[in-house]
Homo-oligomer: A and B are copies of this chain.
């Protein structure tokens, strides 16, 4: 399917970027000096975009531009609108994000180009998890962020006009929405050329997702929920690659898949990818570090994340009413306040249950679907990799099939080590 490309669009390669920055006084001024003083580095490591970091004598910027196709596959066309939607997401959550997103400096509609704050010396959380490095309090920071970004874009805070008009604007992202629907909620449960996995070790797992009736029913229901529950604006790709951090600053990046969806999506994806990182650790064990300490720390981050998300969301709801759902005036008396508090707790229980389902879907699509992630892909030995993956898949499978076993975050934390031990003990005979 061809897409409209503005007449003046062109990809800006390194020298073009320098010329572009030079020709925009505010950006030139921010970098300082003259172009020959500037240092430029390409860091396009995702699937979709051209990204450059530029340092000048005075300051730095990060440029991010959409390409009209998947960066690593010129035959997979992609519309440019995702840059607009990234900007729109950042603008929508900026008033509420406690500074946990990059500052935006400049947006060029015709070029689908965003110039924003260069995050330095931040590192990507994913790299830290692979390297065995701990980012202090990252769970709490991301939990605080996810609660703020979803609460303040939900019907609990906003009036209906906000959501209706926002959904209309995010319509420009429909191609990326389709990609996410297919890759996460459909492909892993059918035979698809895009699917791949560690074979033959995980063949039985992959087959199970395609043939087990109950799993497919739950996956179908999850797709239905994802498509018809725009509870809030969700980042929709909040894995460890979308978190950049120093020891005392955490930022969220790369919201190009943003959409109005179930609030549980972001907590689910974040928890799911932390679980993947947890199960990957034994494969990174060395004599000096068996990684059990890091594993315990990862589980702690999951707990901190969820507790912070839940407490923050509820606290924001208590102190910032105003939306069309649960109209403030309906609950202004003593009894009203009491029943509304019960509603809050019940809604957060519902979000938690949703989050675990979305976590499971994130794990499954990362291991038997199209896009895999470095936490597992960096593991050299296929048997060790498969053992890690089997542990994660077994847990994901159980999250979908026996949700009643996971009524609180502690149930999840207790389950993870048990599933890891079981997968390790299974040797090369990996069965769901």
Q: Contact residues of A with B, CB < 8 Å?
A: 154-156, 159-161, 163-165, 167-168, 170-171, 174, 177-178, 181, 185-186, 189-190, 211, 213-214, 216-217, 219-221, 223-224, 227-231, 324-327, 329-331, 333, 335-336, 338-340, 342-343, 347
Contact = CB atoms under 8 A, between A and B. Distances in A.
A414 to B, nearest CB: 30
Contact of A168 (B168, B190, B213, B340): B168
B230 A190 contact: no
B155 A327 contact: no
Contacts of A324: 181, 185-186, 223, 227
A213 B217 CA distance: 37
Given A161-B178, A186-B330, A223-B326, 19 more contacts: A155-B223, A155-B228, A163-B227, A164-B167, A164-B174, A167-B168, A168-B168, A186-B324, A189-B327, A190-B327, A211-B333, A213-B335, A213-B339, A216-B339, A217-B340, A217-B343, A220-B331, A229-B229, A230-B230
Contacts of A339: 213-214, 216-217
B220 A327 contact: yes
Contacts of A221: 326, 343
Given A228-B230, A325-B224, A216 B331 contact: yes
Nearest to A210: B330
A311 to B, nearest CB: 20
Contacts of A185: 324, 327
18 contacts: A160-B227, A164-B177, A165-B171, A167-B167, A185-B324, A185-B327, A186-B324, A186-B329, A211-B335, A213-B338, A213-B339, A216-B339, A217-B342, A219-B330, A220-B326, A221-B343, A228-B229, A228-B325
A167 to B, nearest CB: 5
